[in-house]
């Protein structure tokens, strides 16, 4: 175990050992490096011709980003598919945000009982640890592949994400204000909707819109992986079925433009709040 040597103002040497948090961080860092190195050795490189692969990749990138155009579909249809993807992301974000808000009240330590807070935190930790695409595939068993399973899966993961974000924002509120209202006989509902939410609304808006941006990217992926439709499905068909790199580039530019617009709107909303 390594030690840290420090000298105080009197010139005496003080030796301190790393605490538990530092040791855990070191172990995590070492494990990450080992798994990364092991991953390179575990990959199958058989049949890989490095130079043709590099030149082919460069040609594909040139076709994608230097000469983008719609060949298999039309620009109007692509715009409509983007709207479909945005709709999936918006619906899953709104449903997730509403449910998360009420769960966050029970998760914040300053607003809830310890046993209830710890129970919800344990549940959302498990949900958040599972990738969104896996939740979509799990719900697809009951609902079938499509937009329904995609929305349910994204809502489920959004709840786990937003509950943590909302509850941490609630826990940052000055405890003295909450205690003062409790001392005056204010009800729990009054404290929530007249103190907690007004003081944290800028954080709630910022976290919600950030999740909306994430859900937009997830909805693009779900269009291909779960048959949810939208621009993700068109991207999958262009790249995997038609192998049309020009159209892949055009769709990629369209997705990038939408993502930039969402970022601008998010900044405007946060400033207005």
Mean pLDDT in runs of 10 for the chain (273 residues)? Answer: 51 63 85 87 76 86 87 88 93 94 89 89 89 85 82 91 92 80 80 84 89 91 80 87 88 91 83 70
C-alpha angle 104/147/124, rounded to 5°?
25
d(Cα 158, Cα 95) in Å, to the nearest integer?
Answer: 9
Question: pTM to 2 decimals?
Answer: 0.79
Give the model confidence (pLDDT) of 37-58 as tens digits.
888 788 777 777 778 888 888 9
Give the model confidence (pLDDT) of 126-162 as tens digits.
888 888 888 888 888 877 778 888 898 899 899 999 9
Decide if 230 contacts 85 (C-beta within 8 A): yes
d(Cα 95, Cα 6) in Å, to the nearest integer?
Answer: 54
Q: What is the pLDDT of residue 6?
A: 52
Decide if 219 contacts 154 (C-beta within 8 A): yes
CA-nearest of 87, 97, 216, 219 to 149 is 219
Q: Cα–Cα distances in Å, from 28 out to 34, 42, 127, 164, 273?
A: 10, 21, 22, 22, 38
Q: Cα–Cα distances in Å, from 66 out to 6, 72, 122, 248?
A: 57, 18, 48, 11
Phi (first) and psi of residue 221, to 5 degrees: -65, -40
Decide if 19 contacts 33 (C-beta within 8 A): no
């Amino acid at each position: 175990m390594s030690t840290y040597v420090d000298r105080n103002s009197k010139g005496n040497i003080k030796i301190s050992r790393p605490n538990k948090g530092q040791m855990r961080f070191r172990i995590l860092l070492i494990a990450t490096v080992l798994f990364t190195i092991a991953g390179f050795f575990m990959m199958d490189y058989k049949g890989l011709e490095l130079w043709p692969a590099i030149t082919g990749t460069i040609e594909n990138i040139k076709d994608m980003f230097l000469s983008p155009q719609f060949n298999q579909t039309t620009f109007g249809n692509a715009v409509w598919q983007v709207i479909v993807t945005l709709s999936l992301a918006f619906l899953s974000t709104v449903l997730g945000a509403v449910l998360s808000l009420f769960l966050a009240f029970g998760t914040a330590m300053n607003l809830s009982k310890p046993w209830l807070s710890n129970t919800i935190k344990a549940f959302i930790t498990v949900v958040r640890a599972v990738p969104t695409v896996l939740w979509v595939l799990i719900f697809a068993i009951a609902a079938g592949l499509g937009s329904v399973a995609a929305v349910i899966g994204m809502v489920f993961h959004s709840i786990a994400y937003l509950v943590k974000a909302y509850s941490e924002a609630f826990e940052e509120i000055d405890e003295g204000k909450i205690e003062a209202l409790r001392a005056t006989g204010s009800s729990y509902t009054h404290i929530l909707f007249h103190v907690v939410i007004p003081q944290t609304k800028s954080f709630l808006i910022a976290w919600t819109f950030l999740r909306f941006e994430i859900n937009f990217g997830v909805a693009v992926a779900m269009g291909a992986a779960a048959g949810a439709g939208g621009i993700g499905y068109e991207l999958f068909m262009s790249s995997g079925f038609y192998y049309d790199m020009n159209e892949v580039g055009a769709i990629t530019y369209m997705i990038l433009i939408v993502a930039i617009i969402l970022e601008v709107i998010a900044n405007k909303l946060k400033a207005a709040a």
